[in-house]
A and B are shown apart, each in its own frame.
Chain A
Amino acid sequence: MTDPILRLDNVTKRFGATVALSDMSIALFAGEVHAIVGENGAGKSTMIKIMTGVHQPTDGRILVDGIPRKILGPQSAREAGIAAVYQEPMVFPDLDVAENIFISSVNEGIMLRRSVLNRKAQALIDRIGMTLASDRIASGLTLAEQQAVEIARALAQDVRVLIMDEPTASLSAHEAERLRQIALRLAREGVAVVYISHRLEEIFEIADRVTVIRDGTHISTRPILETTSDGMIAEMVGREVGNYFAKAPTTATADALLEVDGLTLAGTFEDISFSVMKGEILCMAGLVGARRTDVALALFGINPATSGTIRFKGELVSFRSAREAIDAGIAYVSEDRRKFGLAMPMSIRANISLATLDDFLTPMGLLERENEREVADYFRQQLNIRTPDVERPVGMLSGGNQQKVMLSKWLNMTPELLIFDEPTRGIDIGAKAEVHDLIRSFAARGGAALVISSDLPEVLAMGDRILVMREGRQMGILTSENADQEKIMTLATGQQAHAEEMT
């Protein structure tokens, strides 16, 4: 048995009083895809940061090829052959692909020889299995292509341990598949691939071994064949759980709240027609690039459609701004809470009142802080937001709690139509279940929910009906009875004609 390329030996990491990692041991071998699973806050990112030199262990040691070693920073990690690829790629938008790949290579010389660089870059990209011209400017690349550039960059530096942190979270199914193939290919070449993902199906597809961590401690490491999905989840949350994604009975009424007919935004989406009943949860499924968010933003007034009609509560409406949509009773919970959802340095209280600020003003326009505090406290209790008080900056909360604050902001305006864009992305299983319950109880009280989600099990579990989009077009609406993952994917990839031929 050879030495593992990288090993953490009883590593503990403390940040002041908080223990992020406790006695963590893990061994990464060449040629293997080693998956790491755990809830958010379990310590995965701390572990990655220790491997890449961003943090130093408080206790314990790191061994590279069996020899103890200090990894003091990104440079040091690179020298040890350790690199990481994240969900959000770090590329230089103004530089081209070749320069992006070789930006920190030390053996390319002082002069920039573009032709040589391009050739080498192209070779690396081909080795990964992507089709990408090496003279493209990085800002014009898709997310998946940018990730490939990052991986090529790691290869250019003779990476031996490649850490992939939630790499497929923002990719379409096809791109995710391609990325998984890349991970397998790299492992076959001898790289130790560390694969962190919330998507258990992925892990079963490509991992050789799985490590489960919880609350900063190592729970188990097993070969993939000795694990089960339920077993992993149980270890992640520390308790036996039933099927999180069980389908609940529908609360849909026959009363249409929203009726969309022939909605078109030139160049983006075309001829979208559907309706949402009060009490109903309509899920919008599709691959990344299907333009579902664009439809949502059109309903929300931020990027209005160019033709087609929208009837809300029976009346024709055409919102030209978010304000108009909000005043009418429509809320949009965005998919990126850091960019669009929450003002991170500001207090929970200030964030919750944000969409309905006018309700908290005196006639003269002054803020009524006491009112704000009461409302924020109400939501803190209702949604079980884990925080000692509502004055804390939202940025200090965990992902799941931040999601709840964002939700509170929108629930505060007592919406009739609530549009959720990827409501459970990037939050752990426990919080996911809580969010699902919140959406269901909103619908049960008579609200209409439009849920955009790329998580097929979630879509199947939540949706009374499922609208599938592809490339800005509506491919079909399935009812929960006759929907399954196959059918959704078929519609989402536009292959239904072909599928019909085959049956």
Chain B
Amino acid sequence: MLHRISPQTLRILALFAVLVAVILFFSTQVPNYLNGRLFNRISSSVAIMALIATAQTLVILTRNIDLSIGSVVGFVAFATGSLITGHPDLAPLVLVCYSIMLGAVFGIINGLLVAFARVPAIIATLGTMALFRSALVEYSDAKSITASNLPDWLVSFPNIVLLQIGQLQLRAAFVTALIVVIAVHFALTRLRPARKLYAIGSNPEAAQMAGINVRMTVFAAFVMAGALAGLAGFMFLARFGTITVVAGLGFELKSVAAAVVGGVNIFGGSGTVIGALIGAILVDLIDTSLVRWQLVSEFWREAVLGALILIAVATDTIMMRRLTALRQAREHRKAVSEFIATKQKRAGS
């Protein structure tokens, strides 16, 4: 029966199980753990990471990686804050569009390098990570954005409660991120142009031969990732208000971690953004819970995160191997028995 469920669905179910297990575990260790505030806190902080994890997933699916995502988030957050500080009457929609467009511009640079100049993604984005960060330093001119200079609507946007169910509050930031993730998931599973991302990651040569415009598709993946990072930059600004030149540092690693934990294959070709979302939630949950766990110093967060990634990927790999071996053995037996049957039929007639 197990082979009827696709590996991806299996992975998401497993993640859910782990999520529940972690929640149950911490509920025994931390007083007043299971309440609405936990949900609200997690949903607020995961909104940004969810967007970045989605962006990273798009790129990883094509067998590439985007290490510049943190720098993009930082730059866009700063530039957006700078814009609104100088023009406080700017309409919200315009500002959001600005963030997204700016992010997309960075994505275009990455896309040109990887898809057209054929620089391996890890090298290209290693370079643009440094480049964009230094551009931020230049642009900021040693100043920083402060929350007090930002319009009220911006600062309060993330926390606007759109829906309240008992103690659970569905806040604007989380809902935005959720909508985006669901939209991207829908596109990746239902839109044929988006399926090309999977094809390219699954077998780049075959994709080329099948007439898929690999360059344009990979380029598009980076541009979309940049746009999503830009949106994340906007949310970052809204959430934190104060932006310095180190904004977004380390985000690229966290986004890869969330994606990988969420079942996205680092070699491309398979994975879902839903999985990446759950991966981001899991990472954030453990992070937040550790702070509240009296037994263990909060400084263990990173160490635990590192171990978590190893365990997730190791389990993934081992399970995949077992499933593949089982499947191959079954197919082999079926093929040979089919053959014997036809031979017997032929001999008998």
How far apart sit A302 and B198, CA to CA, in the bound complex (Å)? Answer: 34
Contacts of B196 in A (CB 8 A): 103
Distance in Å: Cβ of A91 to nearest Cβ of chain B: 6
Query: Are B202 and A95 interface neighbours, CB within 8 A?
Result: yes
Q: Assess whether B343 is in contact with A493, with CB atoms less than 8 Å apart.
A: yes
Compute how far the CA of A104 lies from the CA of B327 in the bound complex, rounded to whole angstroms.
28
- How far apart are the CA atoms of A141 and B198 in the complex, in Å? 18
Contact-size category for A:
20 to 34
* Interface positions of A from 343 to 386, Cβ below 8 Å from B: none
Known contacts A112-B192, A174-B339; A92 and B331 CB within 8 A of each other: no
- CB <8 Å contact, B192 and A108: yes
A498/B211 contact (C-beta < 8 A), A93-B203, A95-B202 known: no
Q: Is B162 an interface residue (CB 8 A)?
A: no
User: Which residues 423-482 in A have Cβ within 8 Å of B in the complex?
Assistant: 471
Interface presence of A16 (CB below 8 A): no
**Does A409 sit within 8 A of B, measured CB to CB?**
no
- Is B193 in the interface zone, CB < 8 Å from A? yes
- State in angstroms the CA–CA spacing of A502 and B346 once bound together: 13
Residue contact A140 to B202, C-beta cutoff 8 Å? no
Using A104-B212, A142-B331 as known contacts, say yes or no to A93 and B202 having CB atoms under 8 A apart: yes
Whether A92 touches B190, Cβ cut-off 8 Å, given contacts A104-B212, A493-B343, is no
Residue numbers in B under 8 Å from A494 (CB-CB) = 340
Are B207 and A92 in touch, CB under 8 angstroms?
A: yes
Cβ–Cβ < 8 Å partners of A153 in chain B: 210
Q: B57 to nearest A CB, angstroms? A: 14
Min Cβ gap A181→B in Å is 12
| Docked pose: A108 CA to B269 CA in angstroms | 22
Q: Is A255 an interface residue (CB 8 A)?
A: no
Question: Is A92 touching B203 in the complex (CB atoms < 8 A)?
Answer: yes
Query: Within the complex, which residue of B192, B206, B336 is in contact with A111, where a contact is CB–CB below 8 Å?
Result: B192
Contact present for B209 and A74 (CB under 8 Å): yes
B327 near A94 (CB under 8 angstroms)? no
A242 at interface by CB-CB < 8 Å? no
Q: Which of A78, A99, A142, A495 contacts B347 (CB 8 A)?
A: A495
C-alpha spacing A428/B210, complex, angstroms: 30
- B338 contacts A by Cβ under 8 Å: yes
Interface string of B161-186 (1 = CB under 8 A from A): 00000000000000000000000000
Q: How far is the CA of A289 from the CA of B201 in the complex (A)?
A: 29
Do A289 and B202 have beta carbons less than 8 Å apart?
A: no
In the assembled complex, A1 has its CB within 8 A of some CB on chain B: no
Contact status A91-B208, CB under 8 Å: no
Interchain CA distance A139-B191 in the complex, whole Å: 22
CA distance A483 to B177 in the complex (A): 71
A78, B203: Cβ atoms closer than 8 Å: no
- Among A63-83, those with CB < 8 Å from B are 74-75, 78
Decide yes or no: A112 and B189 within 8 Å by CB, A139-B324, A140-B328, A142-B331 being known contacts: yes
- Inter-chain contact A74/B192, CB cutoff 8 Å: no
Q: Which of B190, B206, B324, B335 contacts A112 (CB 8 A)?
A: B190
Within 8 A of B (CB), among A84-143: 90-95, 99, 103-104, 108-112, 131, 137, 139-142
A104 to B342, CA, bound (A): 34
**Are A95 and B195 within 8 A (Cβ)?**
yes
Tell whether A267 is near chain B: CB-to-CB under 8 Å: yes
Does B259 reach chain A (CB closer than 8 Å)?
Answer: no
Most central of B193, B198, B265, B344 by chain A CB within 10 Å: B198
| Residues in A whose Cβ lies below 8 Å from that of B152 | none
Flag whether B41 is at the interface (Cβ < 8 A).
no
Say whether, besides A140-B328, A495-B347, A92 and B335 are in contact (CB < 8 Å): no
Question: Is residue B199 within 8 Å, beta carbon to beta carbon, of the partner chain?
Answer: yes
Complex contact A78–B211 (CB within 8 A): yes
Contact across chains for A95 and B199 when beta carbons are under 8 A apart: yes
CA distance A108 to B331 in the complex (A): 31
The verdict on B97 contacting chain A, using a C-beta distance below 8 Å, is no
- Chain A residues in 8 Å Cβ range of B198: 92, 94-95
Cβ of A470 to closest chain B Cβ, rounded Å: 8
B289 touches A (CB below 8 Å): no
Residue of A nearest to B271 (CB): A94
Chain B positions within 8 Å of A90 at CB level:
203, 205-206, 209-210
- Tell me the bound Cα distance from A472 to B146 in angstroms: 72
* CA–CA, A78 and B339, complex, Å: 34
B206 surroundings in chain A (CB, below 8 A): 90-92
How far is A44 from B101 in the complex, measured between Cα atoms in Å? 50
Residues of B within 8 A of A95 (CB): 195, 198-199, 202
Given that A90-B206, A91-B203, A111-B190 are known contacts, is A104 also in contact with B211, CB under 8 Å in the complex?
A: yes
CB of B118 within 8 A of chain A?
Answer: no
Interchain CB contact under 8 A, B203 and A103: no
> Contact at A74–B208, with CB atoms within 8 Å?
yes
How many angstroms between the C-alpha atoms of A267 and B333 in the bound complex?
Answer: 11
* B residues in contact with A502, CB < 8 Å: 347
Are A74 and B335 touching (Cβ within 8 A)? no
Complex Cα distance, B270 from A451, in Å, reads 40
Assess whether B335 is in contact with A94, with CB atoms less than 8 Å apart: no
Q: Are B269 and A289 in contact (CB under 8 A)?
A: no
- Name B201's closest neighbour in chain A (CB-CB): A94
Q: Is B87 positioned at the interface, with any CB of A under 8 Å from its CB?
A: no
Distance of A45 from chain B, by nearest CB (Å): 14
Please name all residues of chain A whose beta carbon is closer than 8 Å to the beta carbon of B209 when the two chains form the complex: 74, 90
| Chain A residues with CB below 8 A from B207, complex form | 92, 103
A354-B245 Cα distance, complex, nearest whole Å? 52
Since A103-B195, A140-B327 are in contact, a sample of 5 more A-B pairs with Cβ atoms closer than 8 Å, ordered by chain A residue number, is A90-B206, A90-B210, A92-B199, A103-B196, A112-B189
23 A-B interface contacts by CB (under 8 A): A90-B209, A92-B206, A92-B207, A94-B265, A94-B269, A95-B199, A103-B199, A104-B212, A110-B192, A110-B193, A111-B192, A112-B191, A112-B192, A112-B195, A140-B331, A141-B331, A142-B331, A142-B335, A289-B332, A493-B339, A493-B343, A494-B340, A495-B347
Query: What are the 6 A-B residue pairs with the smallest beta carbon separation, nearest first?
Result: A90-B206, A94-B269, A92-B202, A94-B202, A104-B210, A104-B211
